[in-house]
């Protein structure tokens, strides 16, 4: 509730805490509001508060009996009627000249120059510790700068004692980890026995003032209270308004806030620099919740009893009912709800449910079932993709490899499909019309015997899954153990028995080959070096095998009612390099990259992609 006159009856003043008092008690030197909001610089410095000739005006603007000064009684709430030079028995001549190493106070008093802007008031009128005197000072490193500009030892900050004249070194906002204590002593300054360290006053060009900025759209700023209430003596003080066009000196401190329904983008504290420029000014942006509708999720949203689209961001109080699109299921591993509301902070509550793709599922009408492969139905391998390459935008695209969909935006393939053995690094992603490519950093191609032959492709536009476009399942818990008798399926557009690449997707069912049998076969071709720790053998030696062009495709196994990716076509044991070109032998076993060896790496990339965190590249 705004305090002032609006909420109370005529001739009543409303305190900030809601209490109503008689208007004649406003700014009379005594706190009649329990929160003392009737005796503040903000209220008592307003133009309508004027003092008669016989009255004394307190430092913060209140009016008290002119005969009450220097009577030993605190008639002003800030005690300014008892801190005059004539009250202390010491009178100063305003025309007196001070020595070169002294500072002349506003009342004529001379103090040591080392006492200027050190946090302790040496002038009886406190004029050595004001923004006018200290606002343009530069404090050395390890020192703390009080709001009005004085410099104190940095170790004195938040030590429970007010070492700045305005107490800004004990500001609860600054010392939020330290319990703030209310000082029952109404005096503004606390006498301390700290060693004085004079501020560094450098010889620099005269500072340039800052013209107050325009009020922000959908918000406002005020001058910081430390500059509004120089002499509040520990009493409550508020930020104040400044007229447009006013120029403020360097060090001036503005505090920005936004109107209800908006949030601040940037720091709320804006300072005037010595070059006459304000630090970065924040903006007020509307508070909205992010859109919930996506390729996986449907959202029926209402706002103020009417329909509103949830494709884009929506205002607070929007209600949404969520459901999963076809080919997606609700993620039951998360504690979430299907009915959510956008709160005033711009977040949905409770946590909205997540929809995850149905993986490893074929259409019911498929018939379970390359060289000597068979032609499958299009829906038998809904996770299979093909990778093409074009050297430029106008060049014809060339078929390179197969790939397997594991996420709306991610596919897995063999690293050798996108690796340049000459430059020893990944090729340019734009050649494949993909956004990014990632490989394990231990992959070195032919020189490294194709160990770690796995790569992940990030596409520009995500897939929308359906009954004929489904990701493969990953065996996260490694529950499927491959052994003799395990049969998997692989699809591709590789070389056929006629020697040319197939224009129609081919598939083949291949058995898992035990390690000893695989190793024994490799001695014939002297290719044992390719059986690295992350490889396993599968296939036949009768000419029915994966071959050139099948590389990167996924070897999938059926278990628990779903298809799982366990291998990626890498190299053949009969592979030969002729003139730098790899030649496939379809009468030898094929080597597959064992996906389980790289699951942690795959999961890390998926997690970082979902969280929009940077993904490291080699």
Tens-place pLDDT, residues 50-66: 888 778 888 777 898 88
To 10 degrees, the CA torsion angle through 473, 474, 477, 481?
90
Query: Residue 470 pLDDT > 60, yes or no?
Result: yes
> Any idea what the Cα angle at residue 149 is, between residues 143 and 153, rounded to 5°?
20
Catalytic site residue from 147, 224, 239, 416: 416
- Model pLDDT, residue 236: 60
Active site annotation includes 598: no
Catalytic site residue from 136, 551, 572, 588: 551
Residue 326: band (very low, low, confident or very high) from pLDDT cuts 50, 70, 90? confident
Q: Tens digit of pLDDT for each residue in 173-220? A: 778 655 443 343 333 333 333 334 444 333 334 457 888 899 999 999
What domains can you pick out in the chain, each with its CATH number? 1-87 (4.10.400.10), 102-170 (4.10.400.10), 211-227+238-286 (2.10.70.10), 297-356 (2.10.70), 473-594 (2.40.10.10)
Could you tell me which residues are beta bridge partners of residue 63?
Answer: 57
Strands 562-572 and 473-474, bridge-based pairing? parallel
- Model pLDDT, residue 496: 39
Phi/psi at 478 (5° precision):
55, 50
Question: Which pair of tokens denotes residue 355?
Answer: 């929809």
**Range of weakest confidence among 9-18, 226-235, 563-572, 579-588:** 226-235
Listed as own residue / partner, the contacts of 365-370 with beta carbons closer than 8 Å and 24 or more positions apart are 369/489, 369/507, 369/509, 370/490, 370/491, 370/492, 370/494, 370/496, 370/502, 370/506, 370/507, 370/508, 370/544, 370/545, 370/546, 370/547, 370/550
What's the mean per-residue pLDDT of the chain? 81
Rg (CA), the chain: 39
Question: How far, in Å, CA of 306 to CA of 338, rounded?
Answer: 19
Place of tokens 């001058």: 223
Q: Tens digit of pLDDT for each residue in 250-289? A: 888 899 999 999 999 998 999 888 788 888 899 999 999 9
Average the pLDDT over 155-159 and give the result.
85
Query: Residue 451 pLDDT > 70, yes or no?
Result: yes
Question: How far, in Å, CA of 569 to CA of 573, rounded?
Answer: 12
Catalytic site residue from 118, 125, 169, 453: 453
Average the pLDDT over 322-349 and give the result.
91
Query: Residue 230 pLDDT > 50, yes or no?
Result: no
Active site annotation includes 114: no
CB 64 within 8 A of CB 58: yes
Question: How far, in Å, CA of 488 to CA of 154, rounded?
Answer: 69
Q: Name which residue leads in pLDDT, 566 or 69.
A: 566
Active site annotation includes 551: yes
Record the pTM: 0.55
Average the pLDDT over 475-494 and give the result.
88
Q: Establish how many alpha carbons lie within 13 A of residue 610's alpha carbon, considering only the half-sphere containing its beta carbon.
A: 9
Question: How far, in Å, CA of 120 to CA of 152, rounded?
Answer: 9
- Model pLDDT, residue 392: 81
Distance in Å from the first CA to the final CA of the chain: 59
């Amino acid at each position: 509730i705004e305090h002032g006159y609006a909420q109370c009856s005529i001739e009543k003043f409303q305190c900030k805490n809601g209490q109503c008092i008689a208007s004649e008690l406003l700014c009379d030197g005594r706190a009649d509001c329990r929160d003392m909001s009737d005796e503040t610089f903000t209220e008592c410095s307003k133009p309508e508060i004027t003092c008669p000739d016989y009255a004394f005006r307190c430092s913060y603007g209140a009016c008290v009996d002119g005969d009450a000064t220097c009577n030993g009684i605190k008639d002003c709430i800030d005690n300014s009627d008892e801190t005059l030079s004539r009250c202390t028995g010491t009178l100063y001549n305003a025309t007196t000249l001070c020595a070169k190493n002294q500072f002349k106070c506003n009342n004529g008093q001379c103090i040591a120059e080392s006492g200027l802007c050190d946090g302790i008031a040496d002038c009886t009128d406190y004029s050595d510790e004001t923004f006018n005197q200290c606002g343009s000072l530069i404090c050395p490193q390890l020192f703390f700068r009080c709001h009005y500009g004085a410099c104190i030892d940095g170790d004195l900050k938040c030590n429970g004692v007010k070492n700045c004249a305005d107490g800004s070194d004990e500001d609860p906002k600054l010392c939020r980890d330290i319990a703030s204590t209310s000082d029952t002593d109404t005096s503004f300054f606390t006498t301390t026995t700290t060693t004085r360290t004079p501020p560094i006053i450098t010889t620099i060009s005269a500072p340039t003032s800052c013209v107050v900025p325009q009020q922000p759209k959908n918000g406002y700023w005020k001058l910081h209270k430390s500059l509004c209430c120089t002499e509040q003596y520990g009493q409550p003080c508020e930020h104040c308004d400044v007229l447009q066009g006013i120029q403020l000196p360097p060090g001036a401190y503005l505090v920005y806030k936004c109107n209800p329904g908006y949030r601040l983008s940037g720091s709320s504290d804006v300072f005037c620099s010595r070059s006459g420029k304000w630090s970065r000014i924040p903006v007020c942006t509307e508070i909205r919740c992010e859109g919930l509708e996506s390729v996986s999720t449907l959202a029926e949203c209402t706002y103020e009893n009417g329909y509103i689209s949830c494709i884009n961001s929506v205002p607070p109080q929007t209600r949404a009912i969520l459901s999963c699109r076809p080919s997606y299921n609700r993620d039951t591993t998360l504690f979430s709800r299907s009915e959510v509301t956008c709160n005033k902070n711009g977040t949905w509550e409770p946590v909205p449910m997540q929809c995850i793709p149905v993986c490893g599922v074929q259409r019911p009408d498929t018939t379970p079932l390359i060289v000597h492969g068979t032609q499958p139905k299009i829906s038998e391998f809904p996770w299979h993709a093909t990778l093409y390459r074009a050297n430029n935008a106008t060049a014809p695209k060339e078929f390179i490899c197969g790939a397997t969909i594991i996420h709306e935006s991610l596919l897995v393939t063999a690293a050798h499909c996108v690796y340049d053995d000459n430059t020893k690094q990944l090729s340019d992603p734009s050649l494949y019309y993909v956004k990014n490519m990632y490989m394990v950093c231990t992959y070195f191609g032919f020189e490294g015997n194709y160990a770690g032959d796995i790569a992940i492709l990030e596409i520009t536009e995500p897939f929308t899954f359906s009954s004929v476009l489904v990701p493969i399942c990953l065996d996260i818990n490694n529950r499927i153990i491959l052994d003799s008798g395990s049969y998997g399926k692989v699809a591709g557009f590789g070389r056929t028995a006629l020697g040319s690449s197939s224009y129609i997707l081919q598939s083949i069912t291949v058995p898992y080959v035990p390690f000893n049998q695989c190793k024994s076969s490799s001695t014939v071709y002297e290719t044992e070096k390719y059986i690295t720790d992350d490889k396993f053998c599968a296939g036949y030696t009768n000419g029915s095998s994966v071959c050139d062009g099948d590389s990167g495709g996924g070897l999938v196994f059926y278990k628990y009612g779903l298809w799982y990716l366990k291998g990626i076509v890498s190299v053949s044991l009969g592979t030969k390099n002729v003139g730098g070109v790899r030649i496939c032998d379809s009468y030898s076993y094929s080597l597959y990259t064992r996906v389980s060896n790289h699951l942690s790496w795959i999961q890390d990339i998926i997690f970082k992609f979902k969280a929009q965190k940077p993904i490291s590249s080699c």
